[in-house]
Structure 1
Amino acid sequence: MRLVQISDCHLKADASDQAHVSGPLRRLETVIEAVNRECPAQVLVTGDISEDETAASYRLAVATLNRLEAPWVWLAGNHDQPTLMAEQRELPGELNLDDWRVLMPATHVTGQPYGALGAEGLAWLETRLADDPRPTLIAMHHPPVRVGSAWLDAIGLRDSEAFWRVLETHDRVRAIFFGHVHQAYMGYRRLAGGDVAVYGCPSTHRQFLADAATFAIDEALAPGYRVIDLHGKTLDTRVERVDSWR
């Protein structure tokens, strides 16, 4: 089974202001065209759908994402308004994929760039991991690891150690996929039951310069997406870039 992750679209309400070749709408459209050629069974959209946090931006997002030829689900990032998103389309929190499942914990903190699960989110994650033995992926917005950029590490998942303590007591999670960092990060966290792979996703819009101490755009990298292929109880993943927007 093939999944595709896209992230960090940063759409605005005014489509005419962003439909030129370097704008977020046109870049998202081009990514969607490439994703459709991958023939995924499911698409995961991991947050920062909007840039201006308006209802109109989410209507535009839904209309655009509906061009995907596969079912898609989304979750909220730090730039998003979950209530406005839910008015357009549900935020499911969990996705069943036959022998696999995807958990999508909410990390949005109102008015803050960083993320957190909080006591309620951690309890939800504990319950969901305990009640189903299937191999599990976690899709989230904020990274639960340090990615090597000081400014991004300052606005990651604030309760990441509590998150990892929950995972430590279960052996379900095969990999974690996050957005927020606008780059193709790859790492792992060593747990008692084995290493858990952790992956960041390119933005469909602009890419952040890796290992930068302060905010910086990598002008050399094109928009992209991540492909996730599930095989039995294992997976492969790769990043693809979309250069045709130039």
Structure 2
Amino acid sequence: MPEDIPEDEGEAASSPSKFDVERLAKVLSLVAIPIVVAVLGWMIQNRLGGENIKLEYVKLAVSILQKPSSPDDPSGLRDWATDILNQNSPVKFNEKTISQLKSGEINLSTLKGLIAATNNGSSVTVSPDGKSVAVATTRNTVEIWDLATGRQVFSLRSNTNLVTSLAYSPDGRSLYAGSQDDTVREWDVATGRELRMLDLNAPVLALAVSNDQKTLVVRTADSHLRVYSTSNFQLLTDIKLESVK
């Protein structure tokens, strides 16, 4: 005849311990959160189209990176969010910025303003050192934001029409802004002061600064590609794009 087993011991033998339950719950939470993120991403992708998908993924990544880093964070979640943010950045982050984002050293808790500005903007560019970002808004202004704090540093106001394109100089000291008001303006990044203005007699569609910082290339709505000296805005080359085969 089997021995009688105390009631408490029988329950312990037939059910998991408190430790096992807690461990199981923690494992499930680690698995569930990435799945929830994946499902949200799937829902976003099926609900939206085009560039809006990227924007929604960026919002999701920022919502994760807004929270302070914690030992209880699911493994790899901040890494995933950082990679999404970096993949959708016009200029890729440097290794230090990536490391700071993944470790939680960079605080994105106040980055909501930047996201709002990007929603209403037509052009975004990240500084060469990865510390700031410039955003063109529908208010005909250019806003410079600090990526480490998420705070606006400057709001540059002088354009009379929409700013369509932005480019930092390779040394990060100047910011060039092309606009539908037919101008390119150069701004001092350190002071927010307008340095010079170039009048092109046609709306600006795109611009870029050469790696040696000696030339500024501007594409305009009249199908011209113009190359200027950055030292004095002297026209060096004027190419009619329709003639290029």
Q: Could you say which TM-score interval applies, normalised by the shorter chain? A: under 0.3
From the CA coordinates, give the structure whose radius of gyration is larger: 2
The one of the two structures with greater contact order (alpha-carbon pairs below 8 A, sep at least 6) is 1
TM-score (norm 2): 0.27
Higher strand share: 2
Higher helix share: 2
TM-score (norm 1): 0.27
